[in-house]
Structure 1
């Protein structure tokens, strides 16, 4: 708090004041004077005002209860005379105690119940100036209300302001719960201090939002209506100022949604006079929801002809690369293709479906670093005949609701591809070209040998599919026309057929392989199918830039892995946000409930606060944003980067932040922060990158922006509004990613912060569908 003196409206009654005052009030222009914390004259401005009828002291005294149980008394009054302030004398309730302090001046007790405050700087007062003097650390006696005095005296002995005011004891409302967990049944106790004496008639208490149940209390009757509980005593109760009331409310069933709630408590006399009124804070925070155990199962037998181990990342990337995998923007067109599997393993086959009508070449490229060329050719087939496939279908229904699912399952198979020992586990783009047009079909090849890697990078395939517009429908078409079921039986309309791989994910893969990290890959679909094996497959998992759509098995597998010591780094935002259900064991399609509340009915958090993303990963989704700047700090995330370095546009796509009303993991720290503007609402939102160490020792990092991967290759989506990624900005992000890997990897993952050479190929920038959801 500050001790301040500010100007107020002056009087026109010149005959009643000194000539100095008369000259002051004769003008309709007055100075506004502020005495700031340092005790200096902060400003002097002219303000047009209307003459007032009279200047009176208008003494007002208020009180606020501090967290340590003491009270801050604030005295306010208006100067009725000009002069240089010498001191201010105030009275406090008789019997008050405590170690009393103030600001901008010294304070001492001159007699019992009387304090003298003296300014530390020479302070000139004009008529109409407003005094505001706080006194901290007061311990009030019993009783209330009190009539207290205020007197300001000049250096010449003149009274600058004097009068009395009434102080009513603050209610100091405190609310406690026996079980303050959303979704539970609890007993609430509302406690507050009476400020005025009287005969108690009723106490009205605000209930937590969404609370229900059969409510009871003691020593009176209790009724509930419109979110309030009202208690009335069975017999008249006379209370005096300072009496502490405590009213229990039993049988409260809390909503599954909690938060930090401000709840009011008001006591009223039988005459209708308010005896007490105030609000208290009640924190209702849900711990992480329990998840079912996901069994690991056994690794499959290695098929004949497939190796029991695969080349190291360094050895693989030492092989000759090629830039021929790139599809120039000039070849975008009607040709499209998709694979009948999202992921595969050595010894299996994958069907390819193409629509073109012309012979095509089909080339499989393993994506990595490869001397900066980005890929290595693994397999090809030229002159493959194709047809113009029928239009995708849109339809389907479940439980009486239209699904509006866009599907190309009616396409015929163009080619069957055998995944053999030449297909080193990794991420693949199958490039299909008829010489005029070209498109990709993505495939992930798993390592199912049982070898545990230092790192597993997941691909956000379910999220790719939710945003996929091929066939004219995506989940986001609109609340009334969007798909209620999504299928992988169609090409991706985004990323030249790569989904969100090229816009968001390629950069992290190229970075990891350029460093020679012991890395393997799988997809969201694999997390659902093999999630129980995560701890056996990798010590650390990286989640991609946008990994939003999670089934129960996916979420349970990730939660279980953290409890078993697997480290997690989410290089994105909006992760584990929406809830899906795969329709069958093939995982070729998944359902999303959009019938109860449109888009919002799909949120994990709509099962309750315990299912929010923040309890699992550290932060919660905020909104889709216009690109905002990141300013670096000085903690481990920015080691090797000068503090205060600005990375333009790094807060991009969507952002997360730490919600105060949701569960925070013990030891959670915010390691990077910034602000950006929400794309649709125009409001400002925070971005918080977080880190914590789980009880298992697992380290969890949540990056809270989409931009990590795309900055690594200086190719962020064209519609995110990011300024051109400079070499300097890319170096900062490269260093940050290395620091994240080193922190989260606990010595198993080690990555140099040195700059990786640029990818030496010109890849068209892609757009990305994002927004407030």
Structure 2
């Protein structure tokens, strides 16, 4: 990996004539007054956005073929019985750390194939010794993790942060401290890499690692939300939501437009990992469901990963979706792959990714307002998918549209298809208190498929005491695919009792858990909608 991959755009616009700054599919490098991260011109490019209609996006450079096999028949049962230290990972958003913890680290990238070497980049506020640990996430007799690998102690010193131009997050070019390599003994799945300070007792920090499957594929592919974690990551004091300032209004005004991958995962970025992706891995393990994992960044590089799966699963909050990923998922559902949206506010913003010469994502750009985005290619604007100029409402795929943030609401049963509600004891009119929380999707979107069946509904309360309608829904697509949308970001963390907020009652957790178990059993084969057609308005 090159050490100096990222620089401020102002330096780059001096080095390059403006005519030479066209990148990717017509996207232009921002000129003076715009924000971006940049590296040596030969090592950072905006990935291509355009895809031929109905065709999978092409594989990008840098996709690494596995060098070993980590999924032989029976691997999941062996994993559950594997020896090794059990680890209790942080709960929900309790993983939030200060902007500048004593020990920080990041990986070359958030996903890896079997046998692939990834560099680990570490820094400390004062010299210390650090142990790096790989912990597989699941359910191990009540523990949420199993220690799979631990490094020898390594000396870690201080390394400076790169300068932060306006509207750009913290960025680093730290040297590689050591390598981590998933071997054949690392089962596929979601891992967290933990950085543990041996000398100073500093708080642990974490990074996600999605270990891809080589060998026997499962029926399900879970897509980890590393782009959403990147957007919310406040390391260094800036994220795509907040920047410098003494008031919330000022912080929003000075938010970053460009988020670097070369920094620790802290604050709400870490919270997104532990409150959204980790609970899904725990839930799947509790039900002994064998599932493979990938991530947003990985799927973006290699869209063929979705081929052959019965069901794609989205965790609690998968908000940032590239055009390549959106195209890939739409094509899969159009060919009969089921979609289980076990969250809400999914596929909301279009980002642009920048990759280095090795194919690793170096940064993500999101301006939010089309007038701020300097690209002249309208379909590349980093705005909401449902708004112009993109005008591609995700409700047409997920069945529900984004409804509210900061919600709290009871779920009232509207319909009870037997295949989905068996064993719940619920009937029309039954109430599940506080089923909905955090962010919610609703049934009032005009672009939702007309045969969408509302299962539960709520007049949820917003922080300002106004109400919005949120719902849980299902529809059968023309391809025969079944599509389920939980309608709340706290569906899975509520079931597993890993939300930061007050826990749901046992009744609510059991009911939502049973619905999810029934859903995934029905989704074990593709085209579940042929077997279980939806009934609009039921």
Interval of TM-score (by shorter of Structure 1 and Structure 2):
0.7 to 0.9
| CA drift at 1:614 | 0.9
Could you say which structure has the higher strand fraction?
1
Q: 1:678 to 1:292 in 2, by over 3 A?
A: farther
2:233 partner SS: coil
Distance in 1 (alpha carbons) for counterparts of 2:337 and 2:526: 13
Q: 1:331 to 1:562 in 2, by over 3 A?
A: closer
Q: 1:672 to 1:411 in 2, by over 3 A?
A: same
Task: Note if contact 1:524-1:554 (Cα within 8 Å) is conserved in structure 2.
Answer: yes
Residue in 1 aligned with 2:407?
A: 626
* Structure 2 unaligned spans of 5+: 1-50, 243-250, 374-380, 529-538
- Report matched runs for 1:23-38 at 5 Å: none
* Structure 1 unaligned spans of 5+: 1-288, 396-401, 750-773
Q: Does 1:471 align with 2:239?
A: no
Residue in 2 aligned with 1:293?
A: 55
Q: 1:729 to 1:595 in 2, by over 3 A?
A: closer
| CA drift at 1:349 | 0.8
- Report matched runs for 1:365-764 at 5 Å: 365-391=135-161, 393-395=163-165, 404-435=167-198, 436-437=201-202, 438-449=204-215, 451-477=216-242, 478-494=251-267, 498-536=270-308, 538-584=309-355, 585-594=359-368, 596-597=370-371, 602-607=383-388, 610-636=391-417, 637-641=420-424, 642-643=426-427, 644-660=429-445, 662-679=446-463, 681-718=464-501, 723-746=502-525
- Report matched runs for 1:172-191 at 5 Å: none
| TM-score normalised by the chain length of structure 1 | 0.54
Task: Note if contact 1:708-1:737 (Cα within 8 Å) is conserved in structure 2.
Answer: no
| CA drift at 1:633 | 4.6
Distance in 2 (alpha carbons) for counterparts of 1:339 and 1:664: 39
Distance in 2 (alpha carbons) for counterparts of 1:302 and 1:513: 24
Higher RCO (CA < 8 A, seq sep 6+)? 2
| CA drift at 1:601 | 6.3
Residue in 2 aligned with 1:232?
A: none
Could you say which structure has the higher helix fraction?
2
Task: Note if contact 1:314-1:513 (Cα within 8 Å) is conserved in structure 2.
Answer: no
Q: 1:391 to 1:558 in 2, by over 3 A?
A: same
| CA drift at 1:330 | 11
1:578 partner SS: coil
Could you say what the CA RMSD is over the residues aligned between the two structures, in angstroms?
2.9
| CA drift at 1:392 | 5.2
Task: Note if contact 2:106-2:262 (Cα within 8 Å) is conserved in structure 1.
Answer: yes
| CA drift at 1:546 | 0.5
| CA drift at 1:393 | 3.5
Larger Rg: 1
- Report matched runs for 1:114-513 at 5 Å: 291=53, 293-295=55-57, 302-303=66-67, 305-306=68-69, 309=72, 311-320=74-83, 322-326=85-89, 333-356=101-124, 357-391=127-161, 393-395=163-165, 404-435=167-198, 436-437=201-202, 438-449=204-215, 451-477=216-242, 478-494=251-267, 498-513=270-285
Task: Note if contact 1:322-1:374 (Cα within 8 Å) is conserved in structure 2.
Answer: no
| CA drift at 1:374 | 1.9
**Cα deviations across residues 585-604 of structure 1 (Å, max 9, x unaligned)?**
42231222345356996111
Q: 1:468 to 1:295 in 2, by over 3 A?
A: closer
Task: Note if contact 1:711-1:725 (Cα within 8 Å) is conserved in structure 2.
Answer: yes
Distance in 1 (alpha carbons) for counterparts of 2:109 and 2:123: 17
| CA drift at 1:412 | 2.5
1:430 partner SS: strand
Task: Note if contact 1:393-1:406 (Cα within 8 Å) is conserved in structure 2.
Answer: no
| CA drift at 1:362 | 1.5
| CA drift at 1:622 | 1.1
